[in-house]
Structure 1
């Protein structure tokens, strides 16, 4: 897997990451969602540099302009619900993309420190020979990404796979690197060192879904 860790280069992205981590700023859920969206835009821009491009001529009122435009058929898939702001940021840049949505969540049965990933709702177009962008803001253990990709396999074989995350733990990065094809890509804004005993990223930022959309009742 090709891993693109944008935190290795200083940029305005650092500001957005700092703000979504800051518990004093997290009280503003609209600002939190917008920052996740802006991070998605930055990640989408960087990802776009790896796509296929072809020559294109545009007619202007005074002549012609030659450029290159990307020729990838993109399917953008996000994991509900936390993935929606990240999805929107990517969609701002890949506005012609087809869209897929999937619910994947942790189900704790008897031990609160252990869980399995449950996939339920899924809506997806054909992925055959297309570029799949799979978006999930938090890459903790990596199990949700892998479970989601497995659930998408009946919809066709994509020619390219790009994973997009805001913050990950090194354990999760290693897990998806081993689970996905060597030619796949991971685009991530920050990588933290550890997970706590419940599988959450440390220092991380907390529960991205709750911060974006409010607390949920626990089963």
Structure 2
């Protein structure tokens, strides 16, 4: 797996990341969602450089011009609910992509720190032979991304898999690298060093779903 760590190079992306992490700015849930959306736009632009393109001739009011355009085979799949703002940001750029949604959550059967990932809902077009963009803002343990991939596989085989995240941990990146096909690409804004005993990224930013949409039961 090839990992593209975008925040290693300074850009406006680092400002959006700083605001996401800032406990004061996080109180504005609308701005939190918008910052994730803007990061999605940055990541979409960066990964678009690695897509396959074809040359087409377009007609202008005064003539014709050859243009290179990305192949229209993208399925953009987000993990609910935290993935929605990131999905919207990427959809702003890949506006002709097909869309898919899948649910995944941490289930604590013994009401302690141990958990399992439960995948219940999947709505998608055909993914066979297409470029699958699998979107989840937080790549903590990596178990959600892998569980989702295992659930999706029975519905078809994509031509290519691209993982997209905002913040991940070193451990989470290593975990998905071990469980995804070798030709998978990970595009991630930033990578933090560790997880706490509850499996949350440190320093991270907290619970992205709660910060975007409110505390759940």
Question: Which TM-score bucket, shorter chain as reference?
Answer: over 0.9
CA distance in 1, matches of 2:91, 2:155: 21
> Residues 117-136 of structure 1: matches in 2 within 5 Å?
117-136=117-136
Matches within 5 A, 1:38-187: 38-187=38-187
SS of the residue corresponding to residue 59 of structure 1 reads strand
Distance 2:65 2:178 in 1: 44
Quote the offset at 1:113 in angstroms. Answer: 1.4
How far apart, CA to CA, are the structure 2 residues paired with 1:145 and 1:72? 24
Deviation at 1:72, TM superposition (A): 3.9
- By how many angstroms is 1:65 displaced? 1.6
- Report the secondary structure of 1:113's partner residue: coil
Deviation at 1:111? 4.9
TM-score calculated relative to the size of structure 1: 0.97
Unaligned runs of at least 5 residues, structure 1: none
Contact 2:72 2:96 (C-alpha < 8 Å) held by counterparts: no
Aligned length: 217
Cα pair 1:112 1:198 within 8 Å, conserved:
no
- Conserved 8 A contact 1:138-1:165: yes
Name the SS of the counterpart of 2:27 in structure 1: coil
User: Could you tell me which residue of structure 2 aligns to residue 27 of structure 1?
Assistant: 27
RMSD: 0.8
Q: CA deviation at 1:52?
A: 0.6
